Structure 1
Amino acid sequence: MSERERFFKQIDTVTKENFSKLAFSLFQFQYTNNPIYKKYVDFRGLHPDNVNSIEKIPFLPIEFFKNHQIITQLDPNDAFEAIFESSGTGSIDQISKHYVKDFNFYLSHSLKLFESLYGSVNDYIILALLPSYLERANSSLVAMVDYFIKQTASVDSGFYLYDQESLLKKVDDLKKSGSEKKIIIWGVSFALLDLAEEFTPDFSDCIVMETGGMKGRRKEMIREAMHDFLCERLNVKKIHSEYGMTELLSQSYSKGDGIFQPSQTMKILVREVNDPFEITTESLRSGGINIIDLANIDSCSFIETKDVGSVNVDGSFSVYGRFDHSDIRGCNLLVG
């Protein structure tokens, strides 16, 4: 069994107790086999031998995914089964790309993370309102939700582009049919706001799952204000959220109040605003979000994002927005 194969096998047995050990092993592995990451670590004057805590592991700025192939590669002849691309609104060369060797791993891993919090996907009907993502190719979010939809094994699950009335009719029909399956309305932020402004449906028996952001389609809103508006207009008590991005193969979810539970393969750290190399140890202190994603075995597991947030004592976290001048891109809500 190769070292890479051992990492994939260990993914299913990650716990809080062995997370750091696996992260250190992955750091050494990626330093050795990822030339871009190695060059960055060397530039920082660091080496795995002199890094003694996961807080000191160098986090690769997420912008590197725009201009470089971030690949941990043992064999130069390795093929890629998918290339995920971000939903940036800038020029094509400003789109982030994530090269994925094992597409089925991404799908099955994402499903496992979802089901760890929500239970079997087979208990749900998923109605997806993701217009900006469906209009372009190579979206990791569309690939994931499409897989979830198929796993529901329900003919009622499906995508809706801009056909809001058909979605509303489907919800009404499902309620009248007395279906025992729970309904998830999984929508990009601007599409949910469009729906809520034009209609006032009763989604009280549904889970409304928000993701994405405005994608340049609407003026940015503070997350709390957006959730309050959606709750009032859609008649739900809480807005759920999915937090993920092109550069990550893991996702986290919030069941309300903007508090995300990191998945078992993720750890969130917060860096000081004025010193990107310093990780704060104070809970609830706002700063830049750094992410360890152990599922990123074939790319880079240590990512310095442009998101701003804080971490709670129990490891849960909140995302407040993005740093000024960050590009508009997927699966994060910007703060205006």
Structure 2
Amino acid sequence: MKLINSFKQRLPTLEALGFESLALDIFHFQAQNNQIYMEYLSRLGVDHLRIDSIDKIPFLPIEFFKYHDIKTGEWLEEKAFLSSGTTGMQRSKHLVEDLHFYEQNAKMIFDSFYGDMGNMTFFALLPSYQQQGNSSLIAMVDYFMKESKSERGGYYLDNTGQLIEDLQNELKHSHDVVLFGVGYALLDFCEGCRSPLDGLTIIETGGMKGRREEMTKDEFYTLMKNKLGAVSIHSEYGMTELLSQAYSQENHRFSTPSTMKILIRDINDPFTMLDEGKAGGINVIDLANIHSCSFIETKDLGSVHSDGSFDILGRIDNSDIRGCNLLVV
């Protein structure tokens, strides 16, 4: 626990040059203290002591979170986050040792992209996440609402008419109004909106969840702007299995926080990393996953740019429809 706390203390002051050093420290620690990850490395024949760079680290397939408790060390979880899913689908489970650590990390990341959230009013249109329960996204938005100084905002489920009215009123008094929304619900919202919501920032954080026909981001963003006026449309990349989030602002390209790095793997050889600009499977290093596993092989397709930003290009065939941001580019 003492070593884990030292990792936590290094996160808020982490700079780019220190990322690999901390990532390797966490890797070696998790390789010895995370039973599932340790067994996975053993079956691969990997000696963790021989790993001296992050591009040599084997990433844990994200499916392991469906069938195992992914824990580094021995502790009792304060919270268990569950992924979204359709009826009968096995949902991923991320055990969280310290909920406040998750909340503080999410706040630190959001503030680094958008400024002090205390000056913002948060609205949420996330019906499926609310209805299924135990959502990391809901826990994050709950905390943002609590940290905001505004007494307005809140969740609206399917009550888009009231949401539109309340947004119009709030935009008259504040220039920092944020709406978190899942794709299909945002489309319903657009269809019910008859007047512009100029100045609103929308952060879309999921796809159509099988409830609407999928569309490209360009199509989706154009439709929203045609219906809603001079709104800013951003996107969040996060998932149950990660404690950190990436954000895109207007250009579809996601930027990572200091706690996160994206690597691209060859989908036919998951242990080979690809160069910048090449499309492949997304591997995520999330240093905030100190208590679980910081090295996750996702089922998303993407590519990385020279500045570390990345694009989401879709999903790998036969993977579940899941997580935040299923819209294809």
Q: Same fold (TM over 0.5)?
A: yes
Report how far residue 326 of structure 1 moved.
Answer: 1.1
Partners of 1:329 and 1:201 in 2: how far apart? 33
In structure 1, what is the equivalent of residue 84 of structure 2? Answer: 87
**Secondary structure of 2:219 counterpart:** helix
Counterparts of 1:328 and 1:153 in 2: how far apart (Å)?
A: 36
Query: Secondary structure at 1:310's aligned position in 2?
Result: strand
- What is the distance in 2 between the residues matched to 1:274 and 1:40? 19
Asked whether the equivalents of residues 284 and 311 of structure 1 are also in contact (C-alpha less than 8 Å), the reply is yes
2:222 maps to what in 1? 228
**Which residue, out of 166, 169, 192, partners 1:170?**
166
Structure 2 matches for 1:116-155, cutoff 5 A?
A: 116-155=112-151
Q: Does 1:317 align with 2:314?
A: no
1:156 aligns with 2:149: no
Q: Render the CA deviation track for 1:160-199: whole Å, top value 9, x for unaligned.
A: 11111111111221234xx234111111111111111332
SS in structure 1 at match of 2:76: coil
**Superposition RMSD on alpha carbons, in Å?**
1.5
Shift of 1:218: 1.1
1:222 CA displacement: 2.1
Q: Which runs of 4+ in 1 moved over 3 A?
A: none
Of 175, 188, 191, 1:197 maps to 191
State the partner residue of 2:58.
58
Conservation of the 8 A alpha-carbon contact between 2:161 and 2:192: no
Gaps of 5+ in 1: none
Asked if 1:206 is matched to 2:200, the reply is yes
Maintained 8 Å contact 1:273/1:288:
yes
Show the 5 A alignment for 1:273-284.
273-281=267-275, 283-284=276-277
Whole-Å separation in 1 of the counterparts to 2:312 and 2:43: 30
User: Residues 234 and 61 from structure 1, CA distance in 2 versus in 1: closer, same or farther, beyond 3 angstroms?
Assistant: same
- In structure 2, which of residues 103, 107, 110 is the aligned counterpart of residue 111 of structure 1? 107
Q: Is the 8 A contact 1:223 1:333 kept in 2?
A: no
Letter in 2 for 1:80: E
Structure 2 counterpart of 1:331, which letter? C
The 2-side partners of 1:142 and 1:38 are apart by 31
Classify the secondary structure of the residue corresponding to 1:18: helix
> Gaps (5+ residues) in structure 2?
none
| Structure 1 equivalent of residue 177 of structure 2 | 183
TM-score by length of 1: 0.94
Task: Summarize deviations over 1:124-153 as a string: whole Å, max 9, x none.
Answer: 111111111111221000010011011112
TM-score by length of 2: 0.96
Contact 1:210–1:239 under 8 Å retained in 2: yes
**Match of 2:292?**
299
Q: Aligned pairs, how many?
A: 329
For 2:68 and 2:327, the matched residues in 1 are separated by: 25
Matched, 1:35 2:29: no
**Secondary structure in 2 matching 1:43:** helix
